[in-house]
Structure 1
Amino acid sequence: MGGTSYLMTHNPKDFEVVFRNEGVWPHRPGSDTLRYHRKTHRKDFFQGVEGALPTQGKTWSDFRSAVNPVLMQPKNVRLYYKKMSQVNQEFVQRIDIDTQEAPDDFLNVINRWTLESVSVVALDKQLGLLKESGDNDQAVLLFKYLDDFFELTADLEMKPSIWRYVKTPKPMKLMKSLDGVQEITSAYVDEAIERLEKEAKVGVVRPESEQSVLEKLLKIDKKVATVMAMDMLMAGVDTTSSTFTAALLCLAKNPEKQAVLRGLRIH
């Protein structure tokens, strides 16, 4: 009733051995619930374009081959430097300047910061989750759906569950959350398309070097762009939040390292 057994390693040499022996099309276990959502539950929407997260073999390779020329360009960093800096400034402002204390719900703020940052690239849009008036209904709903996705997926895929045979409440709730992520992401992509079309009508033409990742993906295919945006949100939010939170904990326990980052010295 459980999932596949996993062996966790923190030795970089092990990673090298695995990557060198996986072949052209590596098989990565997991993502069964997401695969079910895209191949079965919402087959009508995805129509075979299932993204990079749940796919394997040639299907995975074909999708990566389509999006890699856009995503794997270091020069894209320049496109988002100012927008990311704005998001970071809004994040820092959530810390009390006088006491330099983080708010009680700081983990929630970190999660909002991460989603806001990923959305700048994935959706070509700031959601406003870090602003004082950060109660945009769609953005808050997307935040909740993703939160449910991370929590429910961990339960259904890592713990014993009969969801593959009986549709208990948890998998049904997960399907509803994934439906929500798909619908809201599609709406934001449509919004971006409408904005680009309006710009084109008034003669706004940006050189390719200034075109957003989403804009370039839309030139490949709207469905590919939408699914890739969903994959970026799902793969980028929780991973970044966890890593950042762990880094903050390590810095909090090692103030001398904080001083190094600030360019100060402790005597």
Structure 2
Amino acid sequence: MHLSRKSNFLFHSKLRLRKNNPSRKYIHTFETIPGPRSLPAIGTLYQYFPLIGKYRFDELHHNGFKKYKAFGPLVREEMVPGVNIVLLFDPKDIETLFRNEGKHPKRRSHLALEKFRLDRPNVYNSGGLLPTNGPEWFRIRSVFQRGLSSMQSVKRFLNGSDNIIQEWLIMLESMRKYPNLDFLPELSRLFLELTGQNTLDIRFNSFSVQERRKDSRSSELIRAAYVTNSCILKTDMIPALWQKFDTPLYKKLKHTQEFMEQVAIDLISLKMSLFRDQDKNNPSLLDSYLLSPEVDFKDIIGVVCDFLLAGIDTSTYTTGFLLHHIGTHPRVQDNIYEEARRLLPSQSTQVTSEMLTEAVYTKAVLKESLRLRPISVGIGRILPKDTEFSGYCVPAGTTMVTQNQISCKLEKYFPQPETFLPERWIKSNPLYKQPHPFLLLPFGHGPRACIARRLAEQNMIILLLKLIRSFRIIWEGGKLDSKSTVINKPDGPILIKLIKRES
């Protein structure tokens, strides 16, 4: 019997899986995985057209729920003809994916950003940490994760972060008189300062009057990160015409990245000019990169741009959702305050590593917020070898995307899934129930997990303790949902009223 090339490939993939697991009588083929109907030339893009489509590009979490209800825990979609994406909802399948991702996990993401950087070999050696795959990714990741990968290593950033957060809280004190103040831009300035201090050893002074101007460096950096992140998802998912010519979307990304690149070059050049005067026995993170013989100036430009791109919006949006949850749950806020008051004798007390260890409830609040509103819907990987998921044969090279945000809101995995219950994460609490370890993965998993995860968590816990120790917050906004860029963004303003605590 004659088989087409595609059918022959799928047939042999099935045979290989049977050979590896001879006890199985039958494995469903890849082409039989359920999913939205694909049409010639346009794939499933027609289902995302405004007014007539079922799905929206900026509502990936709602899309995921619809697909799960319609097709089950494994969904195949050919959004662009010839490019299949498989969505994973079952934590057992998600575990299978990560158990088989290999030493150099690959993903299909930030493709236009990679093109921009590879088109500029005089500035960059690679596409950077976000889009690069294979041994080149492993080379730069191995160097740049040093000083960020362990709890012990990020403790050295404690005092610097505490000082900046305390400065930010004092600024908020003077801004309380303004009605309907959207906290999201203020959070962006805070996390720009924390990113600059922690990873680049520099202050942008973004709280100042001068830096609040629209044309200031701080304002332009915040805008550049937002615009780039807004372009990434669309350029990843639509037909890649930007690879042939500069589309309007690619031009926007290119313009913002050129600005961010120039800032990175200026910062590194300034650092190098002062390098002789630095304390080599206690190098900053950027110092350690400049001292490393394993990377050069062009590698460091790429990672500085990555820190600026990823360090601002991810923490800003996560904290925005966190404040919404706290502002709408007075009981939770009271519990945080009692913990903060016990740990911090005064509102100006500096947070120590011992205090962070004891902040059990506050850490549970962050974890519960990440369950409901994670940084992204899920995690993408390119399958390195033929693998079985839920009884289906999925061939190597397929793009896999976990749907953790959807799975974390299913009753079968979390009782009362829509209810904000930090106690579910505290082992001594009756509400605690050990969840599957591959359900909640807000910072990714394995070798490609977020490089600054521990630093981001530490900063948000410090902020939460000190903010609630000083203020009672009241939510004054409406119902809040998330909007999909490459990460989840609040779909409305973070409107909060601050009431100063007396002590």
Superposition RMSD on alpha carbons, in Å? Answer: 2.8
* AA partner of residue 130 (structure 2): L
List aligned pairs for 1:69-148, cutoff 5 A. Answer: 69-96=146-173, 104-135=181-212, 137-148=216-227
Structure 1 residues 80, 132: CA separation in 2 closer, same or farther (over 3 Å shift)?
farther
The Cα shift of 1:12 comes to 5.7
The Cα shift of 1:153 comes to 2.1
| Higher strand content, 1 or 2 | 2
CA contact (8 A) 1:96 1:102 kept: no
CA contact (8 A) 2:164 2:194 kept: yes
Aligned to 2:337: 262
The Cα shift of 1:159 comes to 4.9
List aligned pairs for 1:1-267, cutoff 5 A. Answer: 5=85, 7=87, 9=89, 14-40=93-119, 42-46=120-124, 48-96=125-173, 104-135=181-212, 137-159=216-238, 162-197=241-276, 199=277, 205-207=279-281, 210-220=282-292, 221-263=296-338
Deviates more, 1:96-105 or 1:14-23: 96-105
The runs of 5 or more residues in structure 2 that have no matched partner are 1-41, 43-78, 342-503
CA contact (8 A) 1:218 1:224 kept: no
The Cα shift of 1:256 comes to 0.5
Structure 1 residues 226, 71: CA separation in 2 closer, same or farther (over 3 Å shift)?
farther
Structure 1 residues 34, 76: CA separation in 2 closer, same or farther (over 3 Å shift)?
same
SS in 1 for 2:207: coil
Distance in 2 (alpha carbons) for counterparts of 1:98 and 1:112: 14
Q: Which has more radius of gyration?
A: 2
CA contact (8 A) 1:31 1:157 kept: yes
* AA partner of residue 329 (structure 2): N
Distance in 2 (alpha carbons) for counterparts of 1:12 and 1:134: 45
Aligned to 2:486: none
Q: Deviations over 1:9-33 (max 9, x none)?
A: 4x76554332211111111111101
Structure 1 residues 96, 44: CA separation in 2 closer, same or farther (over 3 Å shift)?
same
Distance in 2 (alpha carbons) for counterparts of 1:246 and 1:190: 37
The runs of 5 or more residues in structure 1 that have no matched partner are none
CA contact (8 A) 1:91 1:130 kept: yes
Distance in 1 (alpha carbons) for counterparts of 2:233 and 2:86: 14
Q: Deviations over 1:74-124 (max 9, x none)?
A: 333233222111221232234346958786231111111112111112221
| Higher helix content, 1 or 2 | 1
* AA partner of residue 265 (structure 2): S
* AA partner of residue 66 (structure 1): V
CA contact (8 A) 1:95 1:102 kept: no
Distance in 2 (alpha carbons) for counterparts of 1:102 and 1:250: 20
Deviates more, 1:96-105 or 1:223-232: 96-105
The Cα shift of 1:142 comes to 1.9
Identity of aligned residues (%): 23
State the TM-score, normalized to the length of structure 2. 0.46
Structure 1 residues 12, 84: CA separation in 2 closer, same or farther (over 3 Å shift)?
farther
CA contact (8 A) 1:251 1:257 kept: yes
Distance in 1 (alpha carbons) for counterparts of 2:190 and 2:320: 12
Distance in 1 (alpha carbons) for counterparts of 2:151 and 2:265: 27
Distance in 2 (alpha carbons) for counterparts of 1:152 and 1:196: 36
SS in 1 for 2:244: coil
Structure 1 residues 224, 75: CA separation in 2 closer, same or farther (over 3 Å shift)?
farther
The Cα shift of 1:188 comes to 0.8
State the TM-score, normalized to the length of structure 1. 0.83
Distance in 1 (alpha carbons) for counterparts of 2:316 and 2:202: 19
Aligned to 2:460: none
Structure 1 residues 217, 73: CA separation in 2 closer, same or farther (over 3 Å shift)?
farther
Distance in 2 (alpha carbons) for counterparts of 1:81 and 1:26: 31
Distance in 2 (alpha carbons) for counterparts of 1:106 and 1:6: 37
Distance in 1 (alpha carbons) for counterparts of 2:314 and 2:106: 20
Deviates more, 1:127-136 or 1:98-107: 98-107
Structure 1 residues 173, 188: CA separation in 2 closer, same or farther (over 3 Å shift)?
same
CA contact (8 A) 2:109 2:130 kept: no
* AA partner of residue 247 (structure 1): L
* AA partner of residue 59 (structure 1): E
The Cα shift of 1:138 comes to 2.6
Distance in 2 (alpha carbons) for counterparts of 1:160 and 1:101: 45
Distance in 2 (alpha carbons) for counterparts of 1:56 and 1:103: 44
* AA partner of residue 215 (structure 1): D
Distance in 1 (alpha carbons) for counterparts of 2:127 and 2:268: 17
* AA partner of residue 181 (structure 1): M
SS in 1 for 2:241: coil
Deviates more, 1:139-148 or 1:107-116: 139-148
The Cα shift of 1:172 comes to 1.2
